[in-house]
């Protein structure tokens, strides 16, 4: 195994928490997110020769993940799939000392889930994963102006859901 391959594999390992976070934003389900991360890593390792050295490995992997999720979504649409409602487990662990923090995180997650896919991906890539606008627009395969528009609409929609009182009296620009 070459030094370059070992270095890249170690870099992939470092990205696993970020990949998992992005997978959760795409799939909205922890088990699906884990499967998506596994599939992404597998595809990245088997197609490592397609990655251009000198470019961001994480952006390349996000693109692989996004495309894998699109494939999975299409497959599910053909098969149909049912989930328990998210409310089913909301109060589990209510005596947890970090309960309030977890509830806020769940509120953010629910707000993200209500966003249209294009806005949710933009918010996730830029605000959660910290990609630059240019990198995120490349991952999403859209012009930068489209990305910024989706990001602005997603931010505004989430703010309206998370802090409705702060949005009162503001005009639509």
What digits encode the pLDDT tens for the residues 6-38?
888 888 899 999 999 999 988 888 899 999 999
> What is the pLDDT of the chain when averaged over all its residues?
83
Residue 40 has pLDDT above 90, yes or no: yes
Same domain for 21 and 77: yes
Check whether residue 77 and residue 99 sit in a common domain.
no
154: domain CATH number? Answer: 1.10.10.10
Structure confidence by residue, pLDDT tens digits, 104-135: 778 888 888 889 989 998 998 898 888 899 99
What pLDDT score does 84 carry?
58
pTM for this prediction: 0.55
Mean pLDDT for 84-98 is: 63
* Structural domain includes residue 100: yes
In the predicted model, is pLDDT for residue 94 greater than 60? no
What are the pLDDT digits (tens) for 128-173? 888 899 999 998 899 999 999 999 999 999 889 888 776 565 655 5
Rg (CA), the chain: 18
My answer on whether 141 and 77 are in the same domain is: no
* Confidence (pLDDT) at 104: 79
**Which of residues 1 and 44 earns the better pLDDT score?**
44
Cα 148 to Cα 1, 7, 70, 98, 172: the distances in Å are 41, 33, 22, 34, 17
- CATH at residue 32: 1.10.1740.10
**Position 96 confidence tier, pLDDT thresholds 50, 70, 90:** low
Residues 7 and 75 in one domain: yes
In this structure, are 76 and 111 located in the same domain?
Answer: no
- Percent of the chain surpassing pLDDT 90: 28
Residues 110 and 48 in one domain: no
Per-residue pLDDT, 92: 60
Burial class (CB in 10 A: 0-12, 13-18, 19+), 103: middle
Domain count, the chain: 2
pLDDT at 48: 87
Tell whether 5 and 63 lie within a shared domain. Answer: yes
Burial tier of 150 (Cβ tally within 10 Å: 0-12, 13-18, 19+): buried
149, 156, 158 from 161: Cα distances, Å: 19, 9, 5
Q: What is the pLDDT of residues 61-90, one digit of tens each?
A: 999 999 888 888 888 777 755 555 666 666
The range of the structural domain enclosing residue 27 comes to 1-81
- Asked if residue 88 belongs to a domain, the reply is no
């Amino acid at each position: 195994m070459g030094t370059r391959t070992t270095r890249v594999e170690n870099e992939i390992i470092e990205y696993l928490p970020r990949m998992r976070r992005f997978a959760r934003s795409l799939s909205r389900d922890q088990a699906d997110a884990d499967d998506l991360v596994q599939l992404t890593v597998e595809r990245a390792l088997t197609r490592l020769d397609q990655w251009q050295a000198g470019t961001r490995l994480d952006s390349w992997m996000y693109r692989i993940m996004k495309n894998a999720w699109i494939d999975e979504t299409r497959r599910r649409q053909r098969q149909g799939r049912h989930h328990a409602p998210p409310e089913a487990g909301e109060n589990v662990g209510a005596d947890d000392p970090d309960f309030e923090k977890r509830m806020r995180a769940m509120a953010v997650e629910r707000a993200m889930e209500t966003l249209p896919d294009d806005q949710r991906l933009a918010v996730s890539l830029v605000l959660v994963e910290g990609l630059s606008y240019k990198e995120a627009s490349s991952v999403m395969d859209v012009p930068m102006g489209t990305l910024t528009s989706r990001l602005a609409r997603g931010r505004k929609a989430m703010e309206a859901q998370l802090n409705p009182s702060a949005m009162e009296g503001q005009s639509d620009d």
